[in-house]
Amino acid sequence: MKKVALTAMTLLFLSGMAQSQQKKAQPQKKEAPVTQEEVIKVLTSGLSTDPRFVWKVQQDEAQRICSQYTSREAMPAQAVQKVIQLSQSGIRYPQWGIFWGDWREGKKIVDNPRGGRFASYGFSDSPTDRGGNCYACHLIEKGAPGGTMGPNLYQYGKKWNITKENMNSPEALERVRAVYNIIYNAWSAFPCSSMPRFGHNGAFSPEDVMNIVTFLLHPDSPVNK
């Protein structure tokens, strides 16, 4: 008898649980959909009002276009073209144009994981401490562990057919410029990519980008060994 009562109680308890869960799953009264403005308001309310940060939560035109689609594949050709055009038009080059920089300097930025921090805002120990955190998403040097969200960049110079013999030809320098554009603003080649728009966001100077490109492409760089 005792056993039966217990079982009955357990059943009651369980059915009560099921009921309360059911209740929770039922939709409450209908609420108006959250607007873009409301989202931005919540986002910005928790952040600094320092103008150096405020722009980070304001969408630019390219981001507005990307946000309308679930993927690049879902974008109409016109939208893709618009993002590419907006991204290309903002690219700035070093004042002396495309040149071979210093791959060792480029490597320092590529290896540094402290990406996206603004020097002199109190987050950074040193004003020269700027990082691409490239290994979070890429495999780069031989044997070095890295992410797989982006393509493997080991031997990237060979992919672009940069050799000791041709590296200063106008054709090779045009290919260097193409890679410069990818690092400065990845959306100029891969619209709405998850790769950060480093130059566009002011994280790297044109000279930084040139050094990174040199690290990726130069025949002497460990990337191409």
Q: What values do phi and psi take at 114, rounded to 5?
A: -85, 55
- Can you read off the two tokens belonging to residue 154? 């080991």
Among 66, 75, 87, 150, binds ligand HEC (CB under 6 A): 150
State in angstroms the smallest separation of the CB of 106 from ligand HEC. 8
Q: How far apart are CA 208 and CA 211, in angstroms?
A: 5
Task: Concatenate the DSSP letters of all residues of 68-93 into one string.
Answer: TSSSSTTS-HHHHHHHHHHHHHT---
206 binds ligand HEC (CB under 6 A): no
- The number of beta carbons lying within 10 Å of the beta carbon of residue 107 is 20
Residue nearest to ligand HEC (CB): 132
136 binds ligand HEC (CB under 6 A): yes
Among 101, 107, 175, 196, binds ligand HEC (CB under 6 A): 196
Cβ distance to ligand HEC smaller for residue 143 or 175: 175
DSSP state of 198: T
State in angstroms the smallest separation of the CB of 179 from ligand HEC. 6
203 binds ligand HEC (CB under 6 A): no
The continuous run of DSSP H or E covering 174 comes out as helix 170-184
From residue 165 to residue 184, what is the string marking binding to ligand HEC with x (rule CB under 6 A)?
--------------x--xx-
Cβ distance to ligand HEC smaller for residue 44 or 220: 220
- Alpha helices by DSSP H, listed for 1-123, are 2-25, 36-45, 51-54, 61-67, 77-89, 103-111
195 binds ligand HEC (CB under 6 A): yes
State in angstroms the smallest separation of the CB of 146 from ligand HEC. 10
Q: How far apart are CA 225 and CA 144, in angstroms?
A: 13
Burial of 142 (0-12, 13-18, 19+ CB in 10 A): exposed
Torsion of CA 198, 39, 190, 81, to 10 degrees: -120
137 binds ligand HEC (CB under 6 A): yes
State in angstroms the smallest separation of the CB of 90 from ligand HEC. 17
Cβ distance to ligand HEC smaller for residue 13 or 99: 99
157 binds ligand HEC (CB under 6 A): no
Cβ distance to ligand HEC smaller for residue 49 or 70: 70
CB 72 within 8 A of CB 81: no
Return residues touching ligand HEC (CB under 6 A): 110, 132-134, 136-138, 149-151, 153, 179, 182-183, 190, 193-196, 198, 212, 216
